[in-house]
Structure 1
């Protein structure tokens, strides 16, 4: 298993754990749920927040733009 696959698997687990915790404790604030998830997966709260929000490198695989930029501009 490659490093990227392990990160994708970890991120999917963190997102799944977040949504399960939200369902289990619906009255909790989002910050409290993030704190709980962070303590279970040994990540910082900011990292968990970024994973859940699909920010930056935690957003999954980015598709490379294979189109010619000039063709995109001509479409408008």
Structure 2
């Protein structure tokens, strides 16, 4: 029965293209994860500066907002 089954195997260049595409996608995912980690670190540092009032904001007249 098995000898009568026809199996299709993609040719080698097609396999290489698929593998390189999947490798490219994996690299992009890793890059995006690094970017997200850096942005999360920046967000955390900014949040700490804002709540410790090391980073202050001004109103439309250029005056700092009052202390909390």
Q: TM-score range by the shorter chain?
A: 0.3 to 0.5
Whichever structure has more helix as a proportion of its residues is 1
TM-score (norm 2): 0.37
Q: More relative contact order in 1 or in 2 (CA 8 Å, sep 6+)?
A: 1
> Which entry has the higher C-alpha Rg, 1 or 2?
2
TM-score by length of 1: 0.34
